[in-house]
Amino acid sequence: MRLEIPVLRHESEVLILGGGAAGTMAALACAEAGVRSIQATKGRATSGTTTVARGGFAAAMGKDDSPELHLKDVLKYGGQLIDPDLARVWITDIIAVVRDLESWGAEFIRGADGELDLKMFPTHSRARACHHHDTTGNMITKVLSKRLRGDARIEKHSMTAVVDLLKRDGRVVGAWGVDYGRGALALYHAQETILATGGGSGLFYVNDNPPQVTGDGYVLGFRAGVPLVGIEMIDFQAMCCSPKELFGFAPHPTGFINAGAVFRNEEGEEFLKRYFPGRAEKSTRSEVILAMAKEIHDGRAGSTGGIFMDATKVPFEAIQKEIPHVYRTCLHRGIDIRKTPLEVAPGSHTWLGGLKIDIDGQTPVAGLFAAGETAGGIHGGNRIGGSALSASLVFGRRAGRKAAALVKEARGSAAAAGEEAIPEAEREWLAALLSRKSGPLQADVRMNCRMLAHQKLGPIREERGLNEALAEYERIEREDVPQMRLDPSAQSSQRVLGNELESATSVKNLALLGRLLATAALNRRESRGAHFRLDHPESDDAHWNATTRLQLGEGGEIEFYADPVKAPASAVAGS
């Protein structure tokens, strides 16, 4: 069966996949270098998970601070699996990025003396979080979006779901996907391609990411031959499971902690004092989440399965200073956090691993870069607060600048656009998906993938559950994905059809992503940072002071390796 849908062909020097902070910084860097780029996004740029960065991001901007001190904190509390070369350029470059953002209109809060009002985040030795109260991500999104809209050198393709990359002679030369806004297939040719599609939180039933964030970049890069490093490490955050008016809402626990809130179990105990005497709520992000998960696992959860984040004793002035937007959001939904503790449970917030890159975002596969949450090695086993957005801004820019430089070097000798086409097997799969009247609904297969991760791949894991997850994801790929069908409502309008197609193409990625996550988690037989094994509850430095690496084998199998962690150099190099 041949798919009779028009194919739109596009040529560009750089193709950027993703509409968040990393992708937009990459596009702006290309434009500044005089290089043509196309930014293709599932939604509309600027979008992605940038908006969920509430409380601020870290940069050594204070008079008593330095990149050396920032790097020391990152390496000390980052789960010991960080690539120090990546961390070094990140904490150095972010200072210049903050200054540029302000010159573009970013309104970071400043004190009466005109100096930046820098927040103190847990595990940081200095106050260094640049912020706009608890709406930092929204503010940054508006700044980047305005600058992006005003730059005609960047071609914007929204409502486009890229299905796979195209390679020629071992080099990535573009990609193809579904332009579900126009009801067509899209075929891209580019000299350099940058994956900045965000993380994989959409694999989990409970998450705070936009629904389009489904780990596409991980899967695209892996299938193209790029190793995935540290993919088992996930930053779980507290998300509301009660009251029902707030289900799934991410209430910015760091802001609550800074304001003075405490965590209680069903018995009313401030249990973090038992786990971490002296530090309690000031412990690392992963420590707090794992303690929460253990309390839930041991039967000390509330009626809807969570523990309680209690701000009822916090002065109103502190709430107004640290979490004003969260307070108003809850109040708008009928909940006053000054009177009602929020029942929260772990949900997927950011992923700490990703595609292997160098300091400029280049992957080992020619023609392919990764940036933002799609890239690995930056955050190790435990991202400390205020790190995700800053790393995305830095490595998005670095990837864009390097890709643009390579394009300019190759001008005059660059290979012409080839005759790459959408693989026939993929066209047949899409055609069957559009015409099939029986089989599992794509939405049901998607939900199965998400619930499976929620139940088996959360903060607390063990061998039996991981094996069960692995077997079920393999079955989904083998049986369900080839036989999926769209909801009958897809025929009602182009918009509904587009949404169904976007979701169905994501299901293929979610099933493989689940298998990759289960494989890495199963093989790391210890507990470290954000990864906890009930059957291996201790860290094992003798065997596992190493980063997991997954590689696509010649026969299509997943190959597992463990690479020793790099020793950090003492000095902080400039960029």
Least confident of 14-28, 268-282, 387-401, 485-499: 485-499
Residues 439 and 331 in one domain: no
Residues 404 and 474 in one domain: no
Residues 377 and 322 in one domain: no
Q: Please give the C-alpha separations between residue 249 and each of 238, 242, 244, 326, in angstroms, as whole numbers.
A: 9, 10, 10, 10
Residues 92 and 25 in one domain: yes
**Has residue 566 been placed in a domain?**
no
Confidence at residue 573, expressed as pLDDT on a 0 to 100 scale:
45
| CATH number, domain containing residue 72 | 3.50.50.60
Residues 310 and 375 in one domain: no
The single residue listed with the structure tokens 């899967």 is: 219
Residues 270 and 363 in one domain: no
* Adjacent-strand bridge partners of 234: 351
**Has residue 561 been placed in a domain?**
no
Residues 89 and 218 in one domain: yes
CA-based angle 23:21:355, to the nearest 5?
Answer: 60
Confidence at residue 571, expressed as pLDDT on a 0 to 100 scale:
44
Structural contact between residues 30 and 37, judged by C-beta atoms closer than 8 angstroms: yes
Per-residue model confidence as pLDDT tens digits over 30-63: 999 999 999 999 987 677 777 777 789 999 999 9
Last residue of a domain, one of 294, 317, 346: 346
Question: Taking all residues of the chain, what is their mean pLDDT, rounded to a whole number?
Answer: 92
**Has residue 69 been placed in a domain?**
yes
Nearest to 415 by CA among 13, 49, 7, 5: 13
| CATH number, domain containing residue 313 | 3.90.700.10
Domain count, the chain: 3
At residue 2 the predicted structure's pLDDT band, cuts being 50, 70 and 90, is low
| CATH number, domain containing residue 472 | 1.20.58.100
Per-residue model confidence as pLDDT tens digits over 86-128: 999 999 999 999 999 999 999 999 999 999 999 998 889 999 9
**Has residue 573 been placed in a domain?**
no
The single residue listed with the structure tokens 């909801």 is: 487
Those residues with Cβ within 8 angstroms of residue 504's Cβ, 6 or more apart along the chain or in another chain:
433, 442, 484, 486
Q: Please give the C-alpha separations between residue 274 and each of 263, 271, 321, in angstroms, as whole numbers.
A: 12, 5, 29
Q: How far, in Å, CA of 155 to CA of 297, rounded?
A: 49
Retrieve residue 349's tokens.
């917030």
Q: Is a pLDDT exceeding 80 seen at residue 444?
A: yes
**Has residue 494 been placed in a domain?**
yes
**Has residue 568 been placed in a domain?**
no
Residues 403 and 470 in one domain: no
Least confident of 237-241, 261-265, 514-518: 237-241
Structural contact between residues 399 and 28, judged by C-beta atoms closer than 8 angstroms: no
Residues 22 and 137 in one domain: yes
> Averaged over 519-530, what is the pLDDT?
94
Diameter of the chain measured on Cα atoms? 71
Q: How far, in Å, CA of 455 to CA of 278, rounded?
A: 32
- C-alpha dihedral, 312 to 313 to 319 to 323, nearest 10°: -50
Residues 395 and 496 in one domain: no
**Has residue 281 been placed in a domain?**
yes
Residues 101 and 241 in one domain: no
Residues 51 and 187 in one domain: yes
Confidence at residue 436, expressed as pLDDT on a 0 to 100 scale:
93
Last residue of a domain, one of 316, 346, 376: 346
Whole-model pTM over 0.85: yes
Q: Is a pLDDT exceeding 70 seen at residue 575?
A: no
Full domain range(s) for residue 314: 237-346
Those residues with Cβ within 8 angstroms of residue 558's Cβ, 6 or more apart along the chain or in another chain:
515, 516, 519, 550, 551, 552
Confidence at residue 287, expressed as pLDDT on a 0 to 100 scale:
86
**How many CB atoms within 10 Å of residue 556?**
7
CA-based angle 341:343:349, to the nearest 5?
Answer: 120
Q: How far, in Å, CA of 265 to CA of 272, rounded?
A: 10
Q: Please give the C-alpha separations between residue 500 and each of 133, 202, 235, 439, in angstroms, as whole numbers.
A: 37, 16, 29, 15
Those residues with Cβ within 8 angstroms of residue 163's Cβ, 6 or more apart along the chain or in another chain:
175, 176, 177, 178, 426, 505, 508
**Has residue 574 been placed in a domain?**
no
